[in-house]
Amino acid sequence: MSEQDRFEDDLLFAMTRTGEGFGGEGRQALAVGGLARGRRLRRRRSATAALGGAVALALVGTGAMYLTGGTGGTGGTGGSPATAPQTAPAAGGGTASVSATGTGTGTDQSDQGGQGGQDGAPARAYSVPEAIAVLRTLLPAGKVTGTGDAAGPLLFDDGKGGSVLSLSLDRYGEGDARRTENGCPDRKAMRFDACTSTALPGGGSLTVFQGYEYPDNRAETKRWFARLVGQDGRMVQLTEWNAPAAKGAPVSRPAPPLTPEQLTAVVTGKSWDRIVAGIPLPAPVKPRDTEEYGKDEILAITAGLLPAGLKQAETGGQPGFADFVVDDGKGKSLVQVNVQDGSHDNAVEQLFGNAERLPDGTRVTVLKQGGMWTVDTLHADGLRVVISAFNSAGLRTPATRATPALTVEQLKAVATAPQWKLKK
């Protein structure tokens, strides 16, 4: 699982737990389902455009290797443990493979009309042991054990407690949204101690994150990582934990062994050049007209619909979703807005089967769960707009007021406004 996936899953988890804590009605907040489905749709669309060469090799704490093609908006790890050779499409139809024994090659499948890279040259070979060897040269002093494959997880111990490491390598083609999505998560949605995202000279970016493995705080397992997205499309990420396993193991030390500076030194090392050269560069992703509302579009429309005196602050979001904080002088209140196409979704139709129907055909449902109020609407053209307001400034922060800053009627006014139109 990529770090972007983790951020989004933490957001979904926090929203779900928030709703459960407020109502006990046995159903999640409607906005949660909307965000989850919107994320799946975005991934499918992006995967269709971007799949074809971005090969991600992850050496995860369980000891299994995962190989995937590029997926939209994410760092690209996930899938099933590699117990046999697995393949992912390479640019132009070629393949690159990695097996559980740690061999990896990229080949030009000429009989399929494929090409190993963007320039038509066959992809060069690389191997898991080679990647691990490079990592070993870049780590600070300490004991390294394991091979990072099915034979055993990769562990690092500087004498103060063992830590499992995860290395992810990928390559993004020109126009791939992941080249610009290397940022920090929203503090309103998840807990973390520190995060910096820096633009690099000449292009590319570096994100260094210090957070936690579990969004519900059930254990103090810390997860730190540094992720480099280079101008040449490379993605190099090293993740570490303060435990000998990412999940299910007691912590072995107060913090992971590598400092943010040491993590940075590893992912920015020039030694990765040879490995990156063995990953086919995908063909450029062609720009497309989106049918989805962007974060800035949602914020702009919502800003013009807020009651007098309320202004957006601490804004955040992603395609199809936006959030912000308002303050009417009685305490901060988080607001979330999810916009998606529900015109071909049978589940959405079922959800609004008994909903209130307005004269213009818009259907409306209301959910009030303690400090969270949600209005879910399905417009006559099939556009679904969900808006939730909270009596706190974040999903993981204490209540700042008795009720949300927006009333149910005010939420209805925003969600049912004629400014929302389904994009064709």
Provide Rg for the chain, Cα atoms: 23
333 found inside a domain: yes
28 found inside a domain: no
186 found inside a domain: yes
CB 255 within 8 A of CB 242: yes
Residues 142 and 252 in one domain: yes
User: How much is the pTM?
Assistant: 0.61
Residues 301 and 258 in one domain: no
420 found inside a domain: no
34 found inside a domain: no
371 found inside a domain: yes
Amino acid 107: pLDDT: 28
User: What's the rounded Cα separation, in Å, for the pair 211 and 215?
Assistant: 10
33: which residues sit within 8 A by CB, 6+ positions away?
Answer: none
Mean pLDDT in consecutive groups of 10 residues from the start of the chain, 424 residues: 51 42 34 46 37 29 26 30 26 26 30 36 65 94 83 89 94 88 84 93 94 84 96 95 94 97 97 91 73 90 96 91 95 95 84 93 93 95 95 88 96 97 87
Residues 308 and 346 in one domain: yes
Residues 64 and 173 in one domain: yes
Residues 304 and 397 in one domain: yes
CB 190 within 8 A of CB 248: no
Amino acid 137: pLDDT: 95
Task: Name residue 220's beta-bridge partners.
Answer: none
CB 237 within 8 A of CB 228: yes
Question: Which of 276, 306, 335 is where one domain is finished?
Answer: 276
User: What's the rounded Cα separation, in Å, for the pair 332 and 345?
Assistant: 35
Element (H, E) at 59: strand 56-59
25: which residues sit within 8 A by CB, 6+ positions away?
Answer: 369
Instruction: Give the count of beta carbons closer than 10 Å to the beta carbon of residue 365.
Output: 17
Number of folded domains in the chain? 2
Amino acid 66: pLDDT: 29
Residues 410 and 262 in one domain: no
Residues 168 and 102 in one domain: yes
Query: Which residue range forms the structural domain that includes residue 104?
Result: 51-276
For the sheet containing 126-127, what is the strand order?
Answer: 86-89, 95-98, 103-107, 126-127
CATH number for position 319: 3.40.1000
N-term to C-term CA, the chain: 32
Task: Name residue 325's beta-bridge partners.
Answer: 313, 334
